[in-house]
Each structure stands twice: as structure tokens, then as C-alpha cells.
Structure 1
Amino acid sequence: MESNPQTQEYSKPKGGRPKLPNGQQRTHAVKVYFDEENYAKLLKRRKRTGKPLSSIVYELAVNGYVREPLSKELASCVRAMASMANNLNQLAHEAHLSGYAAVEERTRELSEKIAKVLVRVSREL
């Protein structure tokens, strides 16, 4: 049995972001005034985080802090740590197969590199 498109109801799907549940909707607006110095600080934070001013003020009011994204240098350190962790796993596997003496020097070198990256990360935080 074929359906006739003229007799069927057709509802166009809504576009855009889905509505939040009732408990999560922000329904109360608060107007806040800042002096020049504190407004400049907010603008710097907006530039650093890439978030709108309203989100920054909301997070500060609710959480007391604004979570900022990782800097490019810190992100590169995290990627370096991930690759070093992979290398360490490979060395551990090789040590199980052929003994620790065979990979001792490479393990020492890798541990020194990991220590240097950890120092860089601790300076960033």
C-alpha cells in the first residue's frame, strides 16, 4: 500500500539547539556594573578563554573561578607525555621479553625526558 504525500501530515523538523529541561534553564537575569579596571580584567579573561563575558561572570558567580583552556605550550607537553608513556609501555614489554639490562639505558633516558616535561608542566600550572 503506497502512501499519498498529500494526505499525510508532514512536520518539518525543528532546527537549532534543543531546549534545556525546566530545572536547567536560566530564567533570571542580573545586571552588573563594573569600573574600568575590573572591566578591563574581564575583557582580558574573555580574550584568554574565548568565552563570552556573560559566561565568565556566570561561572565566577556560581563556581568562584573560570576554567581556562590549556595553553598551546601545555597542550604540547601533554601530547609529549602521551607519546613518552607509549614509549615506556613498549620498553616495559621489551624488558619482560629480553630482560631489564637490555633496555636499561633507554629507560633512564626516557625517565630524564619525562622529568623535564613534568618540570615544564609544573611551571605552567
Structure 2
Amino acid sequence: MAGSEPTRRGPSAGRFAYEGLDRVMHEKARLGVLTSLIAHPRGLAFADLKRLCGLTDGNLSRHLQVLAEAGLVEILKGYDHNRPQTVCRITEDGRRRFVEYLGVLEQVVRDAAAAAGRPAASARSGFADDPAPA
């Protein structure tokens, strides 16, 4: 029937829905921004964050705006040696939500590796065919 929700039956109903993949975080540039900020808990200057993520000023500004509106990052304006400086920092809620998001992302990788017939350890490293280090 048009407009009706499909009937879900059995233990695997919705198994691959991955509801924890937050659309705000699940975007390449924002994923890079959050990863950079979680690795630098005291925050990063705008210029450093821009360099780490390979973004333009305008692009980074827009992504930071989206992340700030979602409560994931805070943007602090101030001065460093009498020069204006913007520092970006992940919030406590942002840290918690990002770690939860990473857990869901890890499950996606495990599920995909299992479906492809790869062992879990190979899925974790992402390099199943690489030789072991000597």
C-alpha cells in the first residue's frame, strides 16, 4: 500500500537501519572537523582546523555553524597577541555524541566485513590483504 510503513517481523527487522548515524556528523567535512577536535580537547585555532581538514574559510565556517547549532562544538572569539583569533572546541555533549556515533560506525564496518566474508580483525584494520609486519 502506498504511504504505509512496511511490516517488520523477526529479530533482524531494521538490523541495518543504523539509527545512530547522525546526519549532522555523517558528512565528510564535519566528520573531519569533529575528529580533529576530539583529538585536541583544548580546542584548535580556526586556521589550524582549516589546515587539518583541508577546507576553505567559508566552507569551514559553514560546517562549524551547523555543528554549533547542533550543540556539538563551541566557537570562542578572542585575541592572541592583539590579533583576533577564533578557537573551536568540541563540547562535552559533542564528545559523548561523537563517541556514540563512532560505535555505530564501527558496527557498520563489522557488519559489512561479515557480509563480505572477511574476518573481524581484518575489518578493523581495513587492510585484510596487507602482509603482516616483519
Give the helix-richer structure, 1 or 2: 1
Give the strand-richer structure, 1 or 2: 2
Q: Higher Cα Rg: structure 1 or 2? A: 1
Shared fold per TM-score greater than 0.5 = no
Q: Kindly indicate whether structure 1 or structure 2 has the higher relative contact order, using CA contacts under 8 Å at least 6 residues apart.
A: 2
Q: TM-score w.r.t. structure 2 length?
A: 0.28
Q: TM-score w.r.t. structure 1 length?
A: 0.29
